[in-house]
Structure 1
């Protein structure tokens, strides 16, 4: 089917409008970053159970650490005992290897696992 120059022009204008409207959106001005914990290793994922404010931080090396009270003014406290340490079973070479994520059961708040 042959398209008319008007239809093609209209399609191009719609595409350009979509591109420029997305790039022109304002970012929130009240966003700030705060360091909650330090020296955790190569972080690959951060999750919360939704039960409390603790954060569970997975590292490429195969260790999941718990950061307690991450919203405190002084930053969170990394608990000394890992939640899980499978570093002896994880190969964390320079490519896409290692512990790459973690997930809690969607029903964790009631079943605890």
Structure 2
């Protein structure tokens, strides 16, 4: 499991099946409304697309942090009503790491 920690002290746990949705600002035209565009939606194990996921790196925290750094905001889960600003992430860590 991966733990995403935010600057406000809250944490979110990400499993292999957790769907992450990434969004980027798409509000470049001053004549149009403000808008964000979904640029990614999948889990570490690729359950959303049934193919290899870009999140599935040898070290899962590296894939998740790469995702966080590549989007402006993200949501957790398929039916999420909450968007998290990527700049609010303090750290990403493996929660089940051991030297065993």
Q: TM-score scaled to structure 1, two decimals?
A: 0.24
Bigger helix share: 1
Q: Which structure has more RCO (C-alpha within 8 Å, separation ≥ 6)?
A: 2
Structure number with larger C-alpha Rg: 1
